[in-house]
Structure 1
Amino acid sequence: VQPQCPLIYSPFDLTGALDTIPLGINNLGDICGTAIFSGPTQPAFISVGQIVTTFAVPGATATFAYQVNDSGQIVGYYVDSNLISHGYMRDSAGTLTYPIDVPGATETFVLGNNASNWVVGRYTDTSDVTHGFFYVTPDNILTYDYPGATSTSLNGINSSGLICGYYTDTAGHSHGFVARVNVTASGKPNTNTRTAPVKPAYSLPKVPGIAVPAL
C-alpha cells in the first residue's frame, strides 16, 4: 500500500461554474485554468489574490489557460469554431497574442512557460504526427522530436530551463523524459542547436541541472 501524502485541501470553484478545471499555478499561488458555465462557450480564468478574472480568445468555443508565470504571463490554447486548436499568450495587462500556430501545423497546443516566458508545447503536422516545440518568441519556433519516437510533447519548463514531456514509442506506449534548454554563455537559448539526444525521466540526476540532456 502506498503511503498517503498529507495534503491540506481547500475547495476551489468559480462562482456559477458547472465545472472548474485548474491547470496551472505559479510560485505566488496564482491559479489558471478553464471553466464550464451554462453558456455556449468555455472561458479560461486567472485567479490572482483570490480575485478571479475570466477571459476568452475572440471567436473561440473553448479557451484553456495552461500555465501562468510569476509575472502574470499566461500561455495556453483555444479551440476555434471549426474545432481546431491554436496557441495563444496573455500578458499581465490582459493583452492576448493569437493565433500562435507552428507553420504547416494542423493544430498547435501551447502548454507551459517559465519566468523568462520561454514557451513549450506540441503540434500536429499534416501527416498527423505530433512534435514538441520550444520558443522564446513565437516568430522563431523550434521543433523537437524525441529520437525514435512516433510523437513528442513538451509539457512544462522551469526557470532553469528544465523541460518535462513525454513521447510515444513504436509500440504505442508513452514514456516521460526530462531535458534542458541548451543555453549560450549569456544565458540565452542557443537556437542554433535544435535537437540532441535525451533520456527517460528516471535517469535524471539527483542534482537538477547537472548533466541533464539538452535540447
Structure 2
Amino acid sequence: MLQATDLACLKGDRLLFRGLALTLGPGEMLRVAGPNGVGKTSLLRLLTGLTQPEAGEVSWHGTALRRSREDFHRALLYLGHSAALNDLLTPLENLHFACAAAGDADVDEEACMQALVRIGLARQLDLPARVLSQGQRRRVGLARLFLSFHRPLWILDEPFTALDVDAVADLAATLSDHCAAGGTVVLTTHQEAPFARAPQVLNLGAYAC
C-alpha cells in the first residue's frame, strides 16, 4: 500500500501544493491530473522518494520511505520524462543494461529483444541510440514495463507520449493487467487511453497554493 499524508511540495521558493493525502492499495490505478506547472512531476518524484517533501510523509506498507528505502526501491519501477539512454549503445544494449542496473539480473537479451519488438522497435534494435527519434527513445524506456511485472508499484510520467494508437492500446492493456494481478499504478497523462477499468483521478489543482 502506498500512502501520502499531508504532503507539501516546495520548488525553489514556490510552494506548489500542500495538504495532499492519498492511499493506494493492490489493484488500484491513480491518474494525477492538473494543468501544466501545477506540480504533477514533482508529486511523482516525492512518491518515489527521489525528492523530499516540504511537509508530510510518504510510506510504503505502513513504513516511511526514509526508513525502508531499499525495500521500496526493489518494489518500484519509475519511468520519468528522461529516456536516460547511452547514445553509443543500441536499444537492446540500453534496455539490458537498465534491467541489470535495477537488479533484474535474470532478464536476458532475448527477453529484452521481445519487449522492444512489442513496443514497436523491431527495426531499431541494433541502431545506436543517438539516431533514434524522441518517440523511439521513449519506447526503449517503456519496454521495461514488459519485464517488470514482479515490481508491484509502477510510477509513470506521461507514458503515452509519442505512441501511436496501437501502442497506446497495448500499453493501456499492460497497465490494466498489472493492476489485475495485484499491482499498483500511478501515472500522469494528457491522453485518453482504453484502460480495462477507469483509473481514480487526483486533481492536483485542488491542492495548489
> Normalising by structure 2, what TM-score?
0.28
Whichever structure has more strand as a proportion of its residues is: 1
Whichever structure has more helix as a proportion of its residues is: 2
Higher relative contact order, chain-length normalized (CA < 8 Å, sep 6+)? 2
